[in-house]
Structure 1
Amino acid sequence: MRIATFNVNGVNGRLPVLLRWLAETQPDAAVLQELKAPDDKFPEAAIRAAGYDPIWHGQPRWNGVALLSRVGAPVETRRELPGDPDPTQSRYIEAAVNGILIAGLYLPNGNPRPGPKFAYKIAWFDALLAHAADLVASGAPVILLGDFNVMPTDLDVYKPERWKDDALFAPEVRERYARLLAQGWTDAIRALHPGERVYTFWDYFRNAWGRDAGLRLDHLLLSPSLAPRLRAAGVDRAVRGQDKTSDHAPAWVELGPG
């Protein structure tokens, strides 16, 4: 089973990119972030025509998450992170698909740091840690994936020294990601590519894509009961090089049978 995450940076404006990627790679399930569309503007008909059953949690102009499945309709379990410090922001969606609980998230950016946006990021991350611990304790096969807006280590950023004051690379944020892994989650990409520089985001500015000045912001974490099924993981880098595309590339994981 192939499960992917893709920050589309505007689901309607990037719809041709999204549909082309779905047709070419055919993930069994995918979570999307930054829909930037209210619920009634989500392109449901186009997604269904592509062979996917969607659920989504939108918001005008900002945020927004969705979950797509071509292996059976998602059975939604929640569309809000428990303890979310600002539930008006659409950042979390969770559903059972083909025997796996898929939890898709869009963690706050947090810039500028310090300030209220960074405080919100830390509060949201703390709420995620609490819920993630409950998911691990359940013993269920869970994948926690999406745009975490954190580079966990120096290996995940093209020039670490340039990011030391940024909310994406702040010690408080990286420490929380480490605490997440300490609960028992497996970072699928890092587990299979331990020494490689793997990026999922390249800024639109300063020719970041052309220079391969990237960041790894999008992560796929497997619960202890799901991790033994890990077979492959990677990034569909070519999508970032397409016309009118997102500044993120899709990341994915392949799981063996349960």
Structure 2
Amino acid sequence: MEKADPKLELRRLVFDYPKGVRAVDGFDVSLRSGEIVCLCGPNGSGKSTVLKLASGLLEPTEGEVRIDGIPLASLSKRERARLLASVPQRLEALGQSTVLSFVLGGRYARSSFLERALGGVSHQELERVEEALAETDAAELKERRLVELSGGQCQRVLVARALFQRASVLLFDEPTAMLDPAHQVQVFRLIASARDGGRSALVATHDLNLAGHFADRILLLQEGRVRALGAPGEILRPEVLGPIYGPDLHFQRLGERVLVVPWPVDAPG
């Protein structure tokens, strides 16, 4: 049962692309403070669209997004940035900025006009940037330009900027898609650490096993509609996942955890 004071509310969201293509249909969920909700579903199920609606990049055709009870549409861009940090799948435009200056850009939502005009960076801010880059194994990249980075390096820098921004709600669109297994786990541990500090996170991911290990709840999306929402143990079950992903998933219990794989675990190589 949801508490009365949700941090982020996505209320009965509907979104239609041009020519009447409905990408999201009646999406309704609330995130509590200090909660990770993983958004899972097949390709094209609407996960990225939901995150763009949650961040304000898209305006819903119907419904409303609220943060701390305030309609997102009523907030300025700077006010939104104080409350929301969004990590997209990729940077659409890689400029000549260095990694250090890009991550520092996350501070502007919290700095005054005078501080921005003077362009000064405090010693404390530099320490926090160094910490965020170190946490994401990106410290050695700080003097590199964004255009010089690989896809996985860019993703780690994006996560570092979101952590540095100190927003109370974090939105992640497949944050581990370009990362090796060790960095995939590392990113989810960082998200979990932010959750333990009271922040909330909505994370779109295809990795059901990482979702099962780190999420407080998993939301299954199919054709823009919520098909299931619950604790990992309630969702990672054949009768729940089968109608969405098809019959080829296999389930293996490992202690109290369930592993989901696209082939039998004991199948010959």
Q: TM-score range by the shorter chain?
A: 0.3 to 0.5
What is the TM-score when the length of structure 2 is the normalising length?
A: 0.34
Higher relative contact order structure (alpha carbons within 8 Å, sequence separation ≥ 6): 2
What is the TM-score when the length of structure 1 is the normalising length?
A: 0.35
